[in-house]
Amino acid sequence: MFLIFLFMLSTVLAEEPKDSMEAREVSPENVSYKPGKGLEIKSDDGDFKMVTRLRAQQRYTLIDDEDGISHGFQLRRARLMFKGNVFGKANSYKFELAVSPKDIGLKPEGTISKSPLLDWYFHFGQIRDLNLRMGQYKVPYSRQRVVSSGNLQMVDRSMVNGEFNLDRDVGLDIRSKDLFGLNKFRYYAGVYMGEGHSSYAEGDLGMMYLARFEVLPLGLYKDYVESDLQRTTTPKVSIGTGFAYVDEAKRDEGIVGSIPADGGTTDTLNFNADIGFKFCGFSLESAYFWREGTRNPGEALPIEEARNGSGFYTQAGYLLPQKDLEISARYGQIIPSTGDTSLSAKNEAGIGLSNYVGEHSLKLQGDYFRTWSDDGFDRGHDQFRLQLQMAY
């Protein structure tokens, strides 16, 4: 992988013209604002472009559980993003900051546990079947995690995705969004540091290795945006599968989660398969996850078991005819393995209603969920959420 990276990078740099640092003209018509997309500035030759965008979500939550009724209003997400290309249209980049209290892990005592840096990567797309991406970004493991939090069908992602996702890491991958130019296949293969979000210090040689393959038998489409807001006139299907191995994972869910109580590491195998479908305002999405870990326990006692198990969710939505209203529903399960595991069983079922005033850029969403464990549905707890999102 690193040899491929060095070869591709040297090829890109070798193609740079000698006058690349000369000033570029920017005509007034190349400065524009697109609602929901942001402010765009680009050079007349298109070799340089920058798009900036602001997005925020304000959320109200009401919970009824064994401790009684509680509620809260929060700024759930606040994002500032820059993206574009430099020294040619094939050399793209993305830089994104997350600055809400939840994003940075703000604690009641005022401490911050997370870096506000979400993404910073370079992407080299000179070769159709061998694009190169490097930096910090969402690893291309599972569909719903890669979908932007701003393009979701319900207020937030499934609890199953929350348990089994691999989130962001620092590393590189090779990929193609249109393998062989057939308009039917995509792939991703990457190597990452295995330390998770905003890692920067040198560590051991334990890394994360990842591969994902997707088949779109009816042609490519926008399958990484939930809801069929375009009311697709012909059926579209996307089928994907991902595999990841985290060597000496520091956290109990791989590169995310909590540090095990015994202080050790876990060699973790991860697998998922998912499918997406869109047609005439109807959308369907379903995913299955499996994780198996082998502990390398630390010196502290007691030794914590790996979070071994599986899970799945299915969600669907329908955009009402000639309306901007969508009704959606989701069901999901987390299933502990039959052997030793620290994973607990959990179920969720919920319904949602979304009003897309300006598609995903301006929308009001509400959902109601009931979650329960093996103790029974009647002993679960209820959650109602209402969220407004605006993107500039």
pLDDT greater than 80 at residue 19 = no
103 vs 286, which has greater pLDDT? 286
Which one, of 66, 98, 261, lies nearest residue 167 by Cα?
98
Q: How far apart are CA 36 and CA 362, in angstroms?
A: 8
pLDDT greater than 70 at residue 11 = no
Q: SS3 for 249?
A: strand
Residue-wise pLDDT tens digits, 23-78: 788 888 899 998 888 999 999 999 999 999 999 999 999 999 988 999 999 999 99
Q: What percent of the chain has pLDDT over 70?
A: 95
Structure tokens at 349: 């079922």
Q: Which domain holds residue 126?
A: 2-391
Secondary structure element (H or E) that encloses residue 7, with its range: helix 2-14
pLDDT at 9 (0 to 100): 60
Q: What percent of the chain has pLDDT over 90?
A: 81
pLDDT at 35 (0 to 100): 84
Which one, of 124, 157, 161, 106, lies nearest residue 385 by Cα?
157
Overall number of domains in the chain: 1
CATH assignment at residue 182: 2.40.160.10
Read off the pLDDT of each residue in 229-233 and give the average, rounded to a whole number.
96
10 Å CB burial of residue 49 (0-12, 13-18, 19+) is middle
Pick the range with the lowest mean pLDDT from 137-151, 194-208, 221-235, 272-286: 194-208
DSSP assignment of 126-177, as one string? SSTT-EEEEEEEE-SS-HHHHS-GGG-SSSS--HHHHHH---EEEEEEEEES
Pick the range with the lowest mean pLDDT from 10-14, 116-120, 140-144, 369-373: 10-14
pLDDT at 376 (0 to 100): 84
The pTM assigned to this predicted structure is: 0.92
